[in-house]
């Protein structure tokens, strides 16, 4: 009897010990205001406490046919380290010097590590695997539970095939559940205490792009499968006829993409640089040939020029393109884009439209100091992959590649192949019809911009109410080709447009402000040279706004409603504000506390005119001398803007 009791007691002790609380690992942000607790147990669980005291619970797992990395993990070694470095992006769309400061926790689990990084404004994690063979990844769990009163701000496509141009939707977290549409990245969340979260990924290579599915209490990751068989689908895409059961097939010895959650105020979200910080470094040894700038663009305005100095029929022809080159040269604009229509067919990248002599345009552009960028579909590029060398030999400076509309592993590998091959031949790339930036433009800075945004080409389906979310969502993770610059401006109730008389919603001052607000290494001047010639003071200002910046300071930020930002290039400051529909006028002010002490500045600015709430074309241009500490008062109309430049008086 005694032996039986002893055996039972020992069994109870063993059972109790097996259910003892699992070991936890803690890593805090460098400023100790945010904390991450990681608990490896049946799954890899983490608890994030933000500086505002909000708590998020999460799970991280990498699911393969033979093993789920992260589940029932046996931690062999835990290591902590701190990194504090400064690096300079090749194309600084937000700031020329980025501080990358974080504390890292690395959990060695045998065949894999999981790395967690805590920044003052974010947490991030990734898996690093050490498997000798290739790896079929079925899925990932990136589950996060947020406070119940959280609001979700999403871009919700109807499937994995998307150009990422859907209007943003805004809903209580509880209404975003498994029956609702998923979201693209980045996704934005407003916590009940007032903090904001931005969720995205970085260092995306040889991998499927991530989407998010709502759970009613938060989200989980979702991924497109690897396409195996394709069919014809016109001149610019293909149909996926068969997919694998896995979403990525890749090397078993590699680091996986980073998943990150940035947190803070709206200003913090708009100025964070997590995608760049978490990306691998540049893979172009000498990037000195990469020249950011503006481009005069003919598609939006229908290649329409007219007036007493136009004695030719305008359109997609040699004379019109030379007219665009002359305009660009006169205003110091670095490029013109030849969009759809320059080639005889969309399938042939070598034969121009008979009315367009591309080699003569290259010669003429070189004479005037203006480079040419050619539009092509991704399918034509794929079917003629030797074109990079040929077009470079012609003297073309870059390619605008369109209609990818997918984020599966095959397409992300395609983007990488294009970036690499274009770099070999010193060609810029502007990807259109594509998902958000996720580090490719950091590794290959010749990828000068991306579309994947509901930009001005959507005409009347683009409004300030949607665009006021872009600084906190799409543009917060990388360059964005929105194509601003309309000279015909209308309020929404009066809006109507048809090429060649293209127009936009929002005031004239709003359109001008977009050149400072929106960030892109290649910024379009979307309207016709004729319209710019008719508005010389606006045109001169737009042409002078830089496309890269040394410093960015958000002065006021209300996502979806109002945004005011100051940006420095050298010793000059540009300030811009935009407002969405709502109150007829918004009265605001800002203090010039960012100027150099003792220095006087000439401030030139454009503001909404007194009739701008009804007649969106109304604006005023003004000048004043200012110095550090001065207060600037401004009035911004509904769907309006304010923009100016402050130049030191020598």
pLDDT one-digit tens code per residue, 601-622: 999 999 999 999 999 999 999 9
Residues in the chain: 650
In tens, the pLDDT along 320-341 reads 999 999 999 999 999 999 999 9
Contact in structure between 419 and 429 (CB atoms under 8 Å):
yes
The domain boundary, picked from 224, 256, 278, lies at: 278
ω into residue 368 within 30 of 0, thus cis? Answer: no
Residue 11 pLDDT greater than 70, yes or no: no
Domain membership flag for residue 10: no
Q: How confident is the model at residue 2 (pLDDT cuts 50, 70, 90)?
A: very low
Q: What is the average pLDDT across 256-268? A: 98
In tens, the pLDDT along 377-411 reads 999 999 999 999 999 999 999 999 999 999 999 99
Domain membership flag for residue 417: no
Domain membership flag for residue 69: yes
Whole-number Å distance between alpha carbons of 515 and 443:
25
Q: What is the average pLDDT across 563-591? A: 96
Per DSSP (E only), the strands in 193-333 are: 196-202, 211-214, 218-222, 227-232, 238-243, 248-255, 258-264, 293-297
Q: Which helix (H) or strand (E) holds 399?
A: strand 398-402
Annotated active-site positions, please?
402, 457
- Sequence-distant (≥ 6) Cβ neighbours of residue 111 within 8 angstroms: 67, 69, 129, 130, 131
Q: What is the average pLDDT across 104-133? A: 98
Domain membership flag for residue 173: yes
CATH (domain of 29) = 2.70.98.10
- Sequence-distant (≥ 6) Cβ neighbours of residue 91 within 8 angstroms: 290, 292, 441, 445, 448, 479, 521, 548
Contact in structure between 126 and 415 (CB atoms under 8 Å):
no
What per-residue confidence (pLDDT) applies to 581? 83
What per-residue confidence (pLDDT) applies to 20? 61
Q: Which of 344, 364, 366 is nearest to 353 (CA)?
A: 344
DSSP 53-102: S-EEEEEEEEE-SS-EETTT----EEEEEEEEEEE--SS-SS-S-EEEEE
Q: What is the average pLDDT across 90-100? A: 98
Whole-number Å distance between alpha carbons of 641 and 489:
12
Whole-number Å distance between alpha carbons of 175 and 393:
55
Domain membership flag for residue 185: yes
Neighbours of 63 (CB within 10 A): 17
Q: What is the average pLDDT across 282-290? A: 97
Phi, psi of 324 (to 5 degrees): -65, -40
Angle (CA) 508-305-537 rounded to 5° is: 35
Residue 103 in tokens = 């504390």
Q: Which of 532, 542, 529, 546 is nearest to 298 (CA)?
A: 529
Domain membership flag for residue 540: no
Give me the domain span that covers residue 474. 464-517+549-650
Domain membership flag for residue 45: yes
Helix/strand/coil for 377: strand
Domain membership flag for residue 418: no
Whole-number Å distance between alpha carbons of 344 and 349:
9
Number of domains present in the structure of the chain:
2
Residue 331 in tokens = 């205003």
What per-residue confidence (pLDDT) applies to 14? 45
C-alpha gyration radius of the chain:
26
In tens, the pLDDT along 35-87 reads 999 999 999 999 999 999 999 999 999 999 989 999 999 999 999 999 999 99
Q: Which of 185, 84, 142, 124 is nearest to 478 (CA)?
A: 185
Among the residue ranges 18-27, 333-342, 490-499, 538-547, the one predicted with the least confidence is 18-27
Mean pLDDT (the chain, rounded): 96
The domain boundary, picked from 252, 278, 304, lies at: 278
The domain boundary, picked from 220, 254, 278, lies at: 278
DSSP state of 606: E
CATH (domain of 636) = 2.60.40.1180
DSSP 341-363: TSBSSTT-SS-B-TT--HHHHHH
In tens, the pLDDT along 446-490 reads 999 999 999 999 999 999 999 999 999 999 999 999 999 999 999
Residue 9 pLDDT greater than 60, yes or no: no
């Amino acid at each position: 009897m005694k032996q039986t009791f002893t055996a039972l007691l020992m069994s109870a002790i063993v059972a109790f010990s097996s259910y003892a609380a699992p070991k936890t690992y803690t890593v805090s942000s460098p400023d100790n205001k945010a904390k991450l607790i990681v608990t490896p147990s049946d799954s890899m669980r983490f608890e994030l406490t933000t500086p505002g005291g909000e708590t998020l619970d999460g799970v991280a797992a990498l699911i393969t046919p033979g093993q789920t990395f992260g589940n029932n993990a046996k931690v062999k070694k835990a290591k902590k380290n701190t990194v504090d470095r400064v690096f300079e992006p090749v194309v600084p769309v937000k700031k020329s010097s980025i501080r990358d400061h974080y504390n890292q926790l690395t959990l060695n689990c045998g065949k894999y590590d999981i790395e967690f990084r805590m920044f003052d404004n974010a947490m991030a994690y990734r898996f690093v695997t050490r498997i000798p063979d290739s790896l079929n990844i079925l899925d990932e769990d990136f589950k996060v539970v947020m406070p119940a009163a959280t609001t979700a701000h999403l871009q919700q496509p109807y499937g994995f095939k998307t150009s990422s141009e859907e209007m943003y939707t805004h809903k209580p977290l509880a209404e975003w559940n498994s029956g609702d549409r998923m979201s693209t990245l980045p996704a934005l969340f407003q916590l009940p205490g007032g903090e904001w979260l931005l969720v995205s990924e970085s260092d995306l290579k040889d991998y499927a792009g991530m989407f998010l599915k709502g759970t009613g209490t938060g989200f989980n990751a979702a991924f497109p499968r690897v396409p195996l068989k394709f069919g014809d689908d016109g001149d610019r895409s293909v149909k996926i006829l068969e997919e694998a059961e896995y979403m990525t097939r890749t090397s078993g010895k590699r680091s996986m993409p980073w998943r990150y959650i940035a947190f803070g105020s709206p200003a913090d979200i708009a100025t964070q640089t997590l995608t760049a910080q978490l990306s691998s470094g540049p893979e172009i040894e000498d990037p000195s040939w990469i020249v950011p700038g503006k481009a005069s663009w003919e598609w939006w305005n229908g290649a329409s020029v007219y007036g007493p100095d136009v004695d030719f029929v305008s359109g997609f022809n040699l004379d019109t393109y030379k007219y665009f080159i002359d305009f660009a040269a006169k205003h110091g604009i670095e490029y013109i884009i030849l969009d759809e229509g320059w080639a005889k067919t969309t399938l042939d990248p070598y034969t121009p439209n008979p009315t367009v002599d591309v080699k003569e345009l290259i010669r003429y552009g070189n004479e005037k100091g203006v480079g040419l960028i050619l539009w092509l579909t991704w399918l034509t590029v794929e079917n003629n992959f030797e074109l990079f060398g040929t077009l470079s030999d012609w003297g073309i400076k870059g390619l605008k590649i369109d209609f990818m509309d997918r984020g599966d592993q095959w397409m992300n590998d395609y983007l990488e192949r294009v970036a690499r091959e274009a770099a070999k031949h010193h060609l810029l790339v502007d990807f259109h019809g594509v998902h958000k930036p996720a580090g490719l433009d950091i590794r290959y800075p010749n990828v000068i911009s991306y579309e994947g945004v509901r930009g001005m080409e959507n005409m009347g389906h683009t409004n300030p109410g949607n665009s006021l979310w872009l600084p906190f969502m799409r543009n917060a993770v990388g360059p964005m080709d929105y194509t601003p610059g309309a000279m015909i401006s209308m309020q929404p109730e009066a809006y109507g447009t048809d090429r060649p008389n293209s127009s936009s919603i929002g005031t004239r001052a709003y359109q001008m402000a977009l050149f400072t607000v929106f960030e892109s290494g290649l910024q379009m001047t979307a309207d016709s040279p004729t319209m710019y010639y008719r508005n010389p003071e606006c045109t001169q200002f737009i042409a002078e706004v830089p496309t890269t910046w040394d410093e960015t300071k958000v002065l006021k930020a209300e996502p979806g409603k109002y945004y005011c930002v100051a940006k420095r290039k050298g010793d000059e400051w540009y300030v811009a504000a935009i407002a969405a529909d709502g109150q007829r006028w918004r009265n605001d002010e800002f203090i010039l506390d960012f100027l150099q002490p003792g220095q006087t500045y000439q401030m030139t600015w454009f503001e909404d005119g007194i009739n701008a709430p009804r007649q969106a074309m109304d604006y005023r241009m003004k000048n004043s001398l200012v110095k550090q500490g001065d207060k600037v008062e401004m009035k911004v109309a509904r769907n309006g803007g304010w923009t100016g430049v402050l130049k030191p008086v020598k």
